[in-house]
């Protein structure tokens, strides 16, 4: 897709990086963002080594000004936005009875509030792309725990359910502008985020980040008449 551009948050590792790589391989010019600059730059360098056009823009998604600056940087550099991928996120486990407010607030800030603000700030550019080709796309990385709340992950589950609700509302408000919105809802994916569970669920039995990236390719391959509101990804034997 020469001449098209994408913005990927959480792009320095895991699911965001796999989606960024797929989009870059398919010709999208990328703005890649994440919190830690060094890790982000390393990821961007890896993509550039494979011929992908990448700008790396660090941002702490918990800070509104960082989000505004990120979108402005993308707008200034690329001038258009065809695909927005909201993948930045974190999970902090623990029983509800013991979960400190600061942990709740951090997950709400990054997993939900930042997705809302980033999307809001990108809508004008996405509308322009939608008017041009009727296939602008917002990919919100939710979780299977946003569909079926999980014990020990209550705050995380609640933020991810919020992302599903936001995605549904986006469809109602903006699908006739040529902007499609999809919530991706995976179970365990083999990334840095799932290191803590890999003794119980071996990495090789987890969903691959490339599986999620392949789904984004699929979403971009359908006709403008076909909206996919949500995709769930689970493992063999997984109970919901």
Ligand X SMILES: NC(=O)c1ccc[n+]([C@@H]2O[C@H](COP(=O)([O-])OP(=O)(O)OC[C@H]3O[C@@H](n4cnc5c(N)ncnc54)[C@H](OP(=O)(O)O)[C@@H]3O)[C@@H](O)[C@H]2O)c1
The residues annotated with a catalytic role in the active site are 156
Q: Which of 54, 154, 191, 213 binds ligand X (CB under 6 A)?
A: 191
Judged by beta carbon, residue 177 or residue 211, the one nearer ligand X is 211
Backbone angles phi, psi at 32, to 5 degrees: -110, 130
Backbone angles phi, psi at 9, to 5 degrees: -90, 160
Q: Which of 23, 44, 52, 61 binds ligand X (CB under 6 A)?
A: 61
Q: For the sheet containing 230-233, what is the strand order?
A: 54-56, 29-32, 5-9, 83-86, 136-141, 179-186, 230-233
Site string for ligand X, 115-154 (x = CB under 6 A): --------------------------x-x-----------
Which string of DSSP letters, residue by residue, matches 27-75? T-EEEE--S-HHHHHHHHHHHHHTT--EEE----TTSHHHHHHHHHHHH
Of the CA atoms within 13 Å of residue 168, those in its CB half-sphere come to 7
Judged by beta carbon, residue 113 or residue 135, the one nearer ligand X is 113
Tokens for 197? Answer: 């569970």
Stretch that binds ligand X, among 28-36, 127-135, 167-175, 216-224 (CB under 6 A): 28-36
Q: Which of 8, 54, 57, 88 binds ligand X (CB under 6 A)?
A: 88
Q: Which of 45, 72, 192, 226 binds ligand X (CB under 6 A)?
A: 192
- Residues that bind ligand X (rule: CB under 6 A) add up to a total of 29
DSSP state of 170: H
Q: Which of 24, 130, 178, 186 binds ligand X (CB under 6 A)?
A: 186
Between CA 53 and CA 5 the distance in angstroms is 10
Instruction: List contacts with ligand X (CB under 6 A).
Output: 10, 12-16, 34-36, 39, 59-62, 87-91, 110, 141, 143, 186, 188-189, 191-194
């Amino acid at each position: 897709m020469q001449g098209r551009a994408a913005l990927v948050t959480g792009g320095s590792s895991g699911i965001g990086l796999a989606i960024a790589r797929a989009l870059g391989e398919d010709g999208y010019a990328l703005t890649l963002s994440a919190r830690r600059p060094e890790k982000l730059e390393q990821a961007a360098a890896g993509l550039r080594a494979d011929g992908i056009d990448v700008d790396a823009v660090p941002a702490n998604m918990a800070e509104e000004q960082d989000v505004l600056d990120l979108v402005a940087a993308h707008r200034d550099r690329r001038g258009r936005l065809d695909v927005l991928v909201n993948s930045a996120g974190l999970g902090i486990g623990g029983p509800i009875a013991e979960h400190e407010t600061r942990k709740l607030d951090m997950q709400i800030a990054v997993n939900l509030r930042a997705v809302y603000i980033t999307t809001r700030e990108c809508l004008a550019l996405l509308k322009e792309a939608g008017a041009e080709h009727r296939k602008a796309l917002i990919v919100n990385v939710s979780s299977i725990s946003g569909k079926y709340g999980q014990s020990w992950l209550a705050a995380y589950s609640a933020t991810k359910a919020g992302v599903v609700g936001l995605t549904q509302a986006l469809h109602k408000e903006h699908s006739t502008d040529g902007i499609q919105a999809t919530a991706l809802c995976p179970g365990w994916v083999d990334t840095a985020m799932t290191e803590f569970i890999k003794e119980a669920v071996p990495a090789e039995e987890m969903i691959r980040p490339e599986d999620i990236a392949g789904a984004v390719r699929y979403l971009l391959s359908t006709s403008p008449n076909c909206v996919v509101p949500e995709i769930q990804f689970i493992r063999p034997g997984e109970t919901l």
